[in-house]
Structure 1
Amino acid sequence: MPSSAPRPALALLPAALATALLAMVTPVAAQSVPQPAGPDATTLDAVQVTAQRRVENIQDVPVSITAVGGEKLDVLGSGGGDVRFLSGRVPSLNIESSYGRAFPRFYIRGLGNTDFDLNASQPVSLVYDEVVQESPLLKGFPVFDLERVEVLRGPQGTLFGRNTPAGVVKFESAKPSQDAGGYVQAAAGSDGMFNFEGAYGGPLTERWSARASALYQRRDDSVDNAFDGPNDGFEGYDESAARVQFLYEGDAFEGLFNLHKRHMNGTARLFRANIIAPGTNDLVPGFDRDVVSTDGVNFSDLETWGGSARLRWDLGRVTLYSITGYESAESLNRGDIDGGYGAAFLGEGNYGPGFIPFAAESADGLPDHRQITQEFRLESNEWGRFDWQAGLFWFDEDITIHSFNYDSLAPGNPQTGLAVQDQRNKAWAAFASGDFEVSERFTLRGGLRYTKDEKEFSASVLQAVPFGTPVSGPYLVDTDVDDVSWDLSGVYALNDEVNVYARVAKGFRAPSIQGRLAFGGVSTADSEEAISWEAGVKADLWDRRARLGLNVFRYDVDDQQIIAVGGGANTATLLNADKTRGQGFELDLEAYLTDHLLVTLGSSYNDTEIEDAGLAVPGCGGGCTVTDPETSPGSGLYLIDGNRLPQAPEWVHALTLRYGVPMGDNGEFFVFTDWAYRSEVNFFLYESIEFTGKSMVEGGLRVGYNWNQGDHELALFGRNITDTTRVVGAIDFNNLTGFLNEPRTWGVEYTVRF
């Protein structure tokens, strides 16, 4: 039973972890210099990040950060995985989707948003090449030809600002340069998989250079439809993306211009009716992930494109930056929501698998969308002990959403409902940040950001939904808010190898509006504010053969925006929880245990809790066992005070091992394996036995040979090599319907670099 009293772990965790942290730091700081590893020993290169909008060594930044790049990023993405392959591979990061490849939902430290609406706002901001990607459909742009990915945990509301109370996931593309070069990578494997990506860049003139990158991925259907429906198979896709960049480098001016485009068509998320055994969270006996029986139409079409101009003027004492971004998306996703065929009222033998009370088939489309962003930023150039940056930011988004209903029981699956949402969102911000060297060892940093956010929203029902909302509208909602975000941190160098830091930060997310008129009408969630405290240590160990990052954190969110999805009434309603609390720790470790064995370990603990004694949400309508108290017998509403946040695993562990054996003068045989574990998760705000996702372990393996100093590589790879099958999300208004993690894939890959 939930309780408003804090759990023992929640109450004792900060003191226990702080004690462990101090115990670890003290001997590291006091010890003498480690014994030399020898002149030929393998050491770790410094990791440069732009978490504070400047290029800095990751060890000097007072923020919990994980950077992923190079071979590790390539290995995790082999097999044609979309951005969800990062889920669980970084401490405190979870990524899931009820749309498949089209609409990833990000969670950091348990904070995220399970909302499936195309207008959903997320507390994790995704920034691609310095341009924020606000629409959920923009966040899934393929991962290819990147310098690195940075995951910044905790509020980043001063320098990034746009919906960052949980953190930022930051992608940096490989840039053009005057050095000509590139790569080509091709792979083939199971289920007709074929992946290609490549890039080439070099000088155009003494001032201009360019780089072009491209990706193509495809996979055949791997799931058969046992029902004679509109689709014979599922889970296949065909995706392409391209990016071209031009860089001008003048004496006091630099301009980087970027154009990019993505096209994807394939299967929408495949929902599977009655796959969870009642009274448990096990799959039903005899479950076969390669077969379904559905009567609905299923497809996913998505096209996005955009461009940016990143300009820099060196004005002597200061540098002026201008970042202009444009993004646009168009999509249509259609799926069989009930996950089966027929309906119970048609009589025995005319529905399945399991009990299908009624048919549900729907689609969401984004026919019109555009986003414009503009930032101007001034940055000081080595002003001695004090450096600063300040700027202005403008955001303008216009979006139209079409939501359709269909009749799966009628010939041709005709359309039976249409609702339309329109929203115009304008926001601007002014910000300033600075750092001051109090002494040679101690640096203070702080910043402020003022944000004003306005939304104009309209929703209408143009075609009545059977048993739902009649033709009506428009329903109008306007919001207008402002807020101040801030952060304050300090870094102290215990010695040349070890830094300790502390940080407190406030984040903000503007109101959200939800217009699912066929599922409960229009609802609005007020602004949310988060305050986070964090302390940690970052160290280079064993003569740079190892690198450590360890921190403890605690956050409080006031009026967190949450959504009650599904339930017996099949609603989608935005709510504000009075308070949400979370705390835990994060560990990043990278080390050469020998000259040929590299190990990385990421680990995190996140303990989250909703604190709102009167907050109740609808329970499931499909036979699940809700363990929360009901507001009154038969109400169907359940109190969620004391529950953990949905899709927020307590534990995440990620391990990689790479062992290489030199062969000949310029060759190497290597084995690379990676393993990710996440503990169980709640799928919904209420807690139930069936809709609790089991803990999950997934592993990958890559065995290969590279030669000519790494310019050529041939490798065999496998993803999810143990063929783990887990329910990772669910639909709860109809029956025990769920969707699964990615299946095992394997293949062979060849890479040439030039």
Structure 2
Amino acid sequence: MTTRHHPAAHPAAQFRPSLLSLAALAALLPTAPTWAQDATAGAEAGKLTTITVTAERREENALEVPMSITTLRGEALDVINSSGEDLRMLSGRVPSLNIESSFGRAFPRFYIRGYGNTDFRLNASQPVSLILDDIVQENPILKGFPIFDSEGVEVLAGPQGTLFGRNTPAGVVKFDSVKPQKTFGGYGSLSYGTYGTVNAEGAINLPVDEQWQARVSLQSQHRDNWVTNEAPAPVVQQTHKLEGYDDNAVRAQLLYGAGTPFSALFNVHARDLNGSARLFRANIIQSGTNDLADGFDKSKVSLDGKNEQKLSSTGANAHLTWAFDGYKLHSITGFEKVHSFSRGDVDGGYGASYLPYMGPGLIPFSSETADGLRAHQQWTQELRAESATSGPLSWQSGLYFFHEKYAMDAYSYDSTSGGAQTGLSTTTQTNNSWAAFGSVNYAIAPDVTVRAGLRYTHDWKKLSTDPGDVAVDASAGLSDTVSSNKVTGDLAATWSITKDTNLYARIATGYRGASILPASGFNPMSNADPETTTSYEAGVKSELFDRRARVTANVFHYDVKNQQLTAVGGASNSTLLLSAKKAMGEGVEMTLDAYLTENLLLNLNGSVNTTKIKDKNLVVAGCALCTVTDPAGTVSGTYHIDGNPLPQAPKYVANANLRYSLPMADGSEFYVYTDWTYRSKINFFLYESTEFTGKSLTQGGLRLGYVWGNGKYEVAAFGRNITNKVVVNGAIDFNNLTGFINEPRTFGAQFKAMF
């Protein structure tokens, strides 16, 4: 939906990381508690398994990779996915990661170390890239593809400007599906919970012969409509019940020649989503505070607009590998196509101030809009060579090509006349890019390894708007073309101070391509130059107490030049693309895993982030009915945002899991698993205000389970958001205090079986 809103960051105290503070952290390691997020089961009782990652495009022990990498796998993923949530469930599960959305399940926005993009347009670019089975998911609608039958999630913090390229200056979130195996087998999982929530997931592995193996995986999620529209007469309700969904996805893979000189992996996948768009609620924030309004009821709304969301996507990719004497060649070809339509009542209520009726509270004017993405296609091709020798030198090099084209439709409706369509404009965008890259690793001593890489990228983008029957602001034109060339890279070193402890340091650069904002009835077309990032990071990774514990810790600082920001709302309800001369972020992150006893596993991680916009001349329009705390600009209704934190950038993020196992004599097991996440307060917009500052949020889950049949069967009861915490976690700057809330509390039961 074309909405005017955005979550932002919070005021943060100055924090300056240093090598001295890193040394202090390292000194504490032998006595620190420790944890690993995929350490749900050890090869030996009470011991952690080795974490293998592919952050550098090849399998490596995570302790040996000189960057901040956090993984989420196995039981930790299954627990948070059991209640039918979407990708936003990952928010706060690893250090410095925040995910939010004003589109609900269709359009997640990722932030790493406070660095992201609150832009809600369908052509928005993000500085966090999502990679699914080695294919970049560029359009924001593609980024919402569900997680199921997954090897796990890897979060790579900081610029990834060598091996992954443009639009990765904040980092990468990487998903890898379970690949076909040579033996028959599979699994099935079914959960049912509050609001009729169903989460069904399964996979079957089919060995065809010695050369061919297949794997088919699927997920089906459902929730009943649980929010009732109570708009009174004479309002004509277009949608009576809301917040339900049906979200189905499937993946089929075919593998040839595993373990032979030539192998080929083919992947076809699809998704179909039908349900509610994000539910906006008018005047749910008490004026002068950031509390929920008196009498707020999460199960009720009063709307005269229609709410619906539909999405369908298909994709395919082929990964071909040739193994030669001393090196390998890879060809990775990908195609993605997505169609979406999202419609909602932006004003969050019914009627308007110029009509005899309106509510709840002030509705300045009626606004019902929809956004549609169609004719989308994305093609990617990577050709990569890598060394396959055991000497001190290893290398990678390659070429990458990207093409994307689509059309965006912007609709407007008259809610007060039964939702009649009043306008339609269409914007088309084409984006072409290519890159050449290379990376070298060299062991300059038995205990010291250096890594270095460079990438050259050329990026070209064209946007054109056909206003149709909409009166748009054409003062800056209706079409534009931008292009840029950038060189990015990284330099890192790892020092093994013992066989179980590594220190590392890394300098990396990244960039995000130029962006174009189409013209609309509220604002002229605008564009922003590419933003570039330089990051400095140092850390320590260690296994302790004979693999009973594991710890990683790091400090970092980054600077962003020409950061692209989206200013939304204000008294004029405009949407503008801005560039801040500079922004910065710095902080500390830790991840700890430990078996406190043979049967008690603690997982704990957290981060402290400080972000700041640094542009003394940058001003934005402020809200009409809230209390802005920033200095006023020279133009009435505008405010200086120099010194403000970045949007959606909590200072503190923490996650803790605790699992206690009670083994039985027959080999079965009872267990208790609890998980908790915390994020501190956030700003919803670029300016700071009392009402549009989101409260801190703590959410917990509890799971009681029984496993039997040598681990083949499991039954569990679970609860999510068990304290029933309800907060405003996003808002719309729409001349009233409209917002939306977090996911509700749910309880349920789950059964899993492996075969």
TM-score class normalised by the smaller sequence? over 0.9
Structure 1 residue 550, shift from structure 2 partner: 0.3
Residue aligned with 1:71, SS: helix
Residue of structure 1 in register with 2:546 after alignment: 543
Residue of structure 1 in register with 2:642 after alignment: 641
1:337-416 superposed matches below 5 A: 337-347=346-356, 350-382=357-389, 384-410=391-417, 412-416=418-422
Residue of structure 1 in register with 2:514 after alignment: 511
Supply the AA of the counterpart residue of 1:460: D
Residue aligned with 1:590, SS: strand
Supply the AA of the counterpart residue of 1:294: L
Residue of structure 1 in register with 2:524 after alignment: 521
Distance in 1, Cα, partners of 2:278 & 2:43: 53
Structure 1 residue 162, shift from structure 2 partner: 3.1
Distance in 2, Cα, partners of 1:477 & 1:175: 43
Supply the AA of the counterpart residue of 2:344: G
2:441 paired with 1:435: yes
Contact 1:358 1:734 in 2 (8 A): no
Supply the AA of the counterpart residue of 1:597: L
Residues 661-713 of structure 1, C-alpha deviations (whole Å, 9 max, x = no match)? 01232210011110000000000000000000000000011111010121000
Residue of structure 2 in register with 1:235 after alignment: 243
1:704-743 superposed matches below 5 A: 704-743=705-744
Supply the AA of the counterpart residue of 1:496: K
2:199 paired with 1:190: no
Residues 9-56 of structure 1, C-alpha deviations (whole Å, 9 max, x = no match)? 52544366335224336999xxxxxxxxx9975211101000000100
Residue of structure 2 in register with 1:3 after alignment: none
Residue of structure 1 in register with 2:88 after alignment: 84
Residue aligned with 1:139, SS: helix
Distance in 1, Cα, partners of 2:287 & 2:248: 41
Distance in 1, Cα, partners of 2:173 & 2:665: 40
Distance in 1, Cα, partners of 2:375 & 2:719: 39
Distance in 1, Cα, partners of 2:15 & 2:748: 48
Contact 1:461 1:469 in 2 (8 A): no
Residue of structure 2 in register with 1:451 after alignment: 457
**Paired residues, number:** 731
Supply the AA of the counterpart residue of 2:526: S
- Over aligned residue pairs, what C-alpha RMSD do you find? 1.7
Contact 1:90 1:654 in 2 (8 A): yes
Unaligned runs of 5+ in 2: 1-10, 33-41
Distance in 1, Cα, partners of 2:511 & 2:298: 41
Distance in 1, Cα, partners of 2:458 & 2:81: 38
| Change in 2 beyond 3 A, CA 1:302/1:516 | farther
Residues 39-86 of structure 1, C-alpha deviations (whole Å, 9 max, x = no match)? 975211101000000100010000101011111100011100101000
Contact 1:41 1:595 in 2 (8 A): yes
Question: Percent identity at matched positions?
Answer: 53
Distance in 1, Cα, partners of 2:64 & 2:29: 16
Structure 1 residue 219, shift from structure 2 partner: 0.5
Residues 472-504 of structure 1, C-alpha deviations (whole Å, 9 max, x = no match)? 997110111100001000000011110000000
2:589 paired with 1:586: yes
1:226-625 superposed matches below 5 A: 226-227=230-231, 228-249=236-257, 251-347=260-356, 350-382=357-389, 384-410=391-417, 412-465=418-471, 469=473, 475-621=478-624, 623-625=625-627
Residue aligned with 2:748, SS: strand
* Match among 629, 632, 648 for residue 630 of structure 1: 632
Supply the AA of the counterpart residue of 2:688: E
Residue aligned with 1:656, SS: strand
Distance in 2, Cα, partners of 1:25 & 1:590: 12
| Change in 2 beyond 3 A, CA 1:39/1:450 | closer
Residue of structure 1 in register with 2:5 after alignment: none
Contact 2:537 2:557 in 1 (8 A): yes
Contact 1:458 1:474 in 2 (8 A): no
Supply the AA of the counterpart residue of 1:629: P
| Change in 2 beyond 3 A, CA 1:215/1:641 | same
State the TM-score, normalizing by the size of structure 1: 0.95
Distance in 2, Cα, partners of 1:131 & 1:555: 27
Distance in 1, Cα, partners of 2:450 & 2:393: 10
Structure 1 residue 733, shift from structure 2 partner: 2.3
| Change in 2 beyond 3 A, CA 1:576/1:375 | same
Distance in 2, Cα, partners of 1:16 & 1:391: 38
Contact 1:158 1:487 in 2 (8 A): yes
Structure 1 residue 382, shift from structure 2 partner: 1.4
Residue aligned with 2:468, SS: strand
Distance in 2, Cα, partners of 1:219 & 1:27: 46
Distance in 2, Cα, partners of 1:528 & 1:367: 28
Contact 1:459 1:473 in 2 (8 A): no
* Match among 93, 112, 136 for residue 116 of structure 2: 112
Distance in 1, Cα, partners of 2:256 & 2:587: 45
Structure 1 residue 192, shift from structure 2 partner: 1.1
| Change in 2 beyond 3 A, CA 1:391/1:39 | closer
Contact 1:311 1:322 in 2 (8 A): yes
Distance in 1, Cα, partners of 2:110 & 2:145: 14
Residue aligned with 1:23, SS: helix
Contact 1:68 1:149 in 2 (8 A): yes
Residue aligned with 2:75, SS: helix
Residue aligned with 2:498, SS: coil
Contact 2:191 2:748 in 1 (8 A): yes
In the TM superposition, structure 1's runs of 4+ consecutive aligned residues that sit over 4 Å from their partners are 25-28, 38-41
Residue of structure 1 in register with 2:6 after alignment: none
Residues 413-441 of structure 1, C-alpha deviations (whole Å, 9 max, x = no match)? 11111121111100000000010001110
Residues 513-551 of structure 1, C-alpha deviations (whole Å, 9 max, x = no match)? 111512312110110000000000000011001111100
Residue of structure 1 in register with 2:4 after alignment: none
Residue of structure 1 in register with 2:36 after alignment: none
Contact 1:147 1:172 in 2 (8 A): yes
Bigger drift between 741-750 and 228-237 goes to: 228-237
Question: Which of structures 1 and 2 has the larger relative contact order (alpha carbons within 8 angstroms, sep 6+)?
Answer: 2
| Change in 2 beyond 3 A, CA 1:25/1:342 | same
Distance in 1, Cα, partners of 2:16 & 2:468: 55
Distance in 2, Cα, partners of 1:450 & 1:620: 42
Supply the AA of the counterpart residue of 2:387: S
Contact 2:95 2:590 in 1 (8 A): yes
Residues 152-187 of structure 1, C-alpha deviations (whole Å, 9 max, x = no match)? 000001001131000000000000010211101011
Residue of structure 1 in register with 2:51 after alignment: 47
Supply the AA of the counterpart residue of 1:733: F
Residue aligned with 1:494, SS: strand
Residues 303-329 of structure 1, C-alpha deviations (whole Å, 9 max, x = no match)? 011000001000111100010000000
Distance in 1, Cα, partners of 2:372 & 2:657: 39
| Change in 2 beyond 3 A, CA 1:698/1:179 | same
Residue of structure 2 in register with 1:34 after alignment: none
State the TM-score, normalizing by the size of structure 2: 0.95
Supply the AA of the counterpart residue of 1:397: E
Distance in 2, Cα, partners of 1:469 & 1:463: 13
| Change in 2 beyond 3 A, CA 1:624/1:74 | same
Contact 2:12 2:611 in 1 (8 A): no
Unaligned runs of 5+ in 1: 1-6, 29-37
Residue aligned with 1:409, SS: helix
